[in-house]
């Protein structure tokens, strides 16, 4: 068996992943050309090693803990109707057995507070080391059941807190934990730290800190655990990092790129709060410069628009300059359903990290940059180059020197 542990288990992305896996296992949902990259024949080394039929799900949540996986998925489905009802019903037996465990929401910001009543481990009066102990226990019993496990953070986006000297070393970070310095950590750091302690790979589908903190990266190296992030590349940013290279290849100068996103649902509520939104905008903005090597004038805006629920509309306006200095423009609108785009990528990241572990690789797996808006260590954003890194890694085991994979930003 292969265990995937989802943080934010009852959110839109996670429940869509749960339903998708259950419906595929029940034999009713399509899996060919259905958005799962690792189901393509080129990815057979991964597909055959970690088949979807053998996937078992677990997860952490801070809301609706009295619900089972079916009830949580049904609630999201009733708000979105984002797939056919028969898939939910086909997975009912399996989803009913799913129960999320209580997690932590330390320093998750006003965006998460706005989601309503939270049920958290700190709410029970637990200290940081007790919270980590509880998370480690949850992971451990899941791993004992499944044999192999991976943690994917698909919880609401946290604000970034200021990192200080203590975050730079494992000793420093563990000092913060021992002294219960709650103001110095965020929930995603605790989830990532606990995963590394249990030697479980960690994928950061959000822009939250998670495993990017140097102390936790040090722990990953010490425990020989693979990880990668940040922030799943599924919609507007996928378009940006696919279109921007076209301008570069034709030697056309991008003068400015304005992107306006509107979205509904709980992710929209979270991202309507400035602190939570800042983490997301940072990861979206870097995508263009890391694709073309310079930073054109850019506007990235995200607004909450409840009628859209889980649908997302992005309108992008790109001003560019060509022959004789003549200015021209390209505009596009993107209509996506966030969780339908995200769920297969969650599966891909999970499988790829397990594949890395099975090959004895650890630390940041930069070859997975293809799946992220802001790949750790500033890997090139260009989707085509990222795809080649990924495919060469799967089929030939080729690792490229980090320096050769990094984006070089030559001018503002």
Sign of CA dihedral 252, 256, 262, 267: positive
Should residue 266 be labelled a site residue for ligand NAD when binding is judged by CB under 6 A? yes
For residue 304, what are the β-bridge partners? Answer: 263
> Residues 19, 23, 37, 62: which binds ligand NAD (CB under 6 A)?
62
By the 10 Å C-beta count (0-12 exposed, 13-18 middle, 19+ buried), 329 is classed as exposed
Q: Nearest Cα to 11, choosing from 76, 92, 58?
A: 76
Residue 156 engages ligand NAD in binding (rule: CB under 6 A) = yes
Q: Does 201 bind ligand NAD (CB under 6 A)?
A: no
Tokens of 375: 């790949």
Among 94, 218, 236, 265, which residue interacts with ligand NAD (rule: CB under 6 A)?
265
172/177 Cα distance (integer angstroms): 9
Q: Which of 26, 115, 391, 400 binds ligand NAD (CB under 6 A)?
A: 115
| 206 forms part of the interface with ligand NAD (CB under 6 A) | yes
**Stretch of 123-131, 219-227, 338-346, 363-371 contacting ligand NAD, by CB under 6 A:** 338-346
- Which three-class secondary structure state does DSSP give residue 409? coil
Encoding tokens for residue 113? 């507070």
187 within 8 A of 155, measured Cβ to Cβ: yes
Which segment (59-67, 240-248, 314-322, 378-386) binds ligand NAD by CB under 6 A? 59-67
* Binding of residue 193 to ligand NAD (CB under 6 A): no
Q: Is there binding between residue 371 and ligand NAD (CB under 6 A)?
A: no
- Angle, CA 334 vertex, CA 330 and CA 339 arms, to 5°: 155
DSSP single-letter state for residue 161 = P
Contact 264, 79 (CB under 8 A): no
Q: With CB under 6 A, what is the number of residues at the site for ligand NAD?
A: 35
Q: How far is the CB of 157 from ligand NAD (least distance, A)?
A: 4
Regarding 112 and contact with ligand NAD (CB under 6 A), the answer is: yes
DSSP secondary structure letter of residue 260: E
Task: Report which residue's Cβ sits closest to ligand NAD.
Answer: 11
Site membership for ligand NAD, residue 342 (CB under 6 A): yes
Residue 24 or residue 112: which is nearer to ligand NAD going by CB?
Answer: 112
Name the residues that contact ligand NAD, by CB under 6 A: 7-8, 10-13, 60-63, 103-105, 108, 112, 115, 154-157, 187, 205-206, 231-232, 234-235, 265-267, 270, 338-339, 341-342
């Amino acid at each position: 068996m292969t265990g995937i542990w989802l943080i934010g288990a009852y959110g839109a992305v996670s429940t869509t992943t749960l339903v998708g896996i259950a419906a595929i296992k029940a034999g009713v949902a399509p899996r060919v050309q259905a958005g799962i990259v690792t189901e393509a024949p080129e990815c057979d080394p991964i597909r055959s090693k970690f088949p979807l039929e053998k996937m078992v799900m677990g997860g952490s949540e801070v809301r609706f803990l009295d619900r089972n996986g079916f009830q949580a998925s049904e609630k999201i489905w009733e708000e979105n109707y984002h797939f056919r009802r028969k898939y939910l019903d086909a997975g009912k037996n399996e989803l009913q057995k799913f129960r999320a465990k209580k997690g932590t929401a330390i320093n998750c910001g006003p965006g998460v507070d706005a989601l309503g009543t939270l049920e958290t481990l700190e709410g029970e009066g637990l200290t940081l080391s007790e919270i980590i102990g509880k998370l480690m226990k949850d992971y451990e019993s899941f791993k004992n059941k499944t044999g192999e496990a991976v943690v994917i953070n698909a919880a609401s986006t946290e604000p970034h807190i200021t990192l200080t000297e203590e975050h730079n070393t494992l000793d420093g970070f563990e000092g913060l934990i021992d002294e219960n310095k709650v103001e110095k950590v965020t929930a995603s750091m605790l989830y990532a730290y606990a995963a590394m302690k249990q030697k479980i790979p960690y994928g950061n589908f959000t822009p939250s800190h998670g495993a990017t903190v140097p102390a936790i990266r040090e722990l990953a190296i010490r425990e020989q655990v693979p990880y990668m992030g940040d922030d799943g590349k599924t919609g507007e940013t996928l378009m940006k990092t696919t279109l921007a290279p076209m301008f570069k290849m034709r030697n056309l100068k991008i003068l400015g790129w304005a992107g306006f996103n509107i979205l509904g649902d709980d992710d929209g509520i979270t991202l309507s709060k400035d602190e939570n939104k800042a983490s997301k905008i940072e990861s979206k903005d870097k995508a263009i410069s890391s694709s073309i090597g310079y930073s054109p004038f850019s506007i990235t805006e995200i607004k909450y628009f409840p009628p859209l629920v889980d649908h997302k509309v992005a309108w992008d306006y790109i001003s560019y300059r060509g022959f004789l200095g003549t200015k021209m423009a390209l505009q596009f609108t993107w209509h996506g359903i966030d969780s339908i785009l995200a769920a297969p990528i969650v599966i891909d990241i999970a499988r790829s990290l397990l594949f890395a572990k099975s090959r004895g690789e650890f630390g940041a797996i930069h070859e997975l940059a293809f799946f992220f808006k802001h790949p750790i260590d500033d890997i090139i954003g260009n989707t085509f180059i990222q795809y080649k890194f990924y495919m060469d890694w799967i089929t030939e085991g080729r690792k490229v020197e980090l320096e050769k994979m990094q984006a070089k930003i030559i001018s503002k």
